[in-house]
Structure 1
Amino acid sequence: MDNQDIKSLLITKLNLENAYITGDSNHIEIIAIGDIFKGASQVKRQQIVYTPLIKIITEKHIHAVSIISYTPKEWEQNKKINNSNHLLK
């Protein structure tokens, strides 16, 4: 499963506004943006993103995952504060 497949899976299953996936099957980094994260703790946000990935992880198609999640409002604020466009691929 490539990064585009993972992106499509997350956007579809979690109804995300957008997702950015970098890395390879050994380690992927995910930036997930969606209203689904409103009011959720960081732990809950991680659980939300892991849920559609469980099968891929347990079948060892992905070894390690780093997740950063934002609501759309948080994402816009973060882009302005940190000028984080260099993270996008």
Structure 2
Amino acid sequence: METEAVAQLIRAGIPNAEVQVSGDGSHFEALIVSEVFEGLTPIKRQRLVMETVKTQIASGELHALSIKTQTPAQHAGSGVC
């Protein structure tokens, strides 16, 4: 898979999210910033993101996805672009 394909899957499942993905074809890292994460526990945030790529994980097309989630307020204070 390409990084942009992974990003598009996440964006489709979490509309209006800011998504940055890096990786090498089967192992990816994603930073997702969305208001939807407000008030959710870290595990609920992870599950929400994993739901967007579950078909690709199940098929083996996507082997591993490391996820970092932030609300817009957390992102603004993180210094991460």
Q: TM-score normalised to the size of structure 1?
A: 0.83
Q: Deviations over 1:8-46 (max 9, x none)?
A: 221122114310000123310010010110000110000
Over the aligned positions, Cα root-mean-square deviation in angstroms equals 1.2
Look up the match of 2:49.
49
Give 1 or 2 for the bigger CA radius of gyration.
Answer: 1
Does the residue aligned with 2:39 lie in a helix, a strand or coil? coil
Does the residue aligned with 2:32 lie in a helix, a strand or coil? strand
When the two structures are aligned, how many residues end up with a matched partner? 81
Between Structure 1 and Structure 2, the one with more helix by share is 1
Does the residue aligned with 2:40 lie in a helix, a strand or coil? coil
Report deviation, 1:5.
Answer: 1.4
**Greater than 4 Å deviation, 4+ residue runs:** none
How far apart, CA to CA, are the structure 1 residues paired with 2:57 and 2:45? 17
Identity of aligned residues (%): 23
How far apart, CA to CA, are the structure 1 residues paired with 2:20 and 2:6? 9
Q: TM-score normalised to the size of structure 2?
A: 0.91
Does the residue aligned with 1:65 lie in a helix, a strand or coil? strand
Q: Deviations over 1:33-89 (max 9, x none)?
A: 10110000110000000001000001111111100000111101111xxxx34xxxx
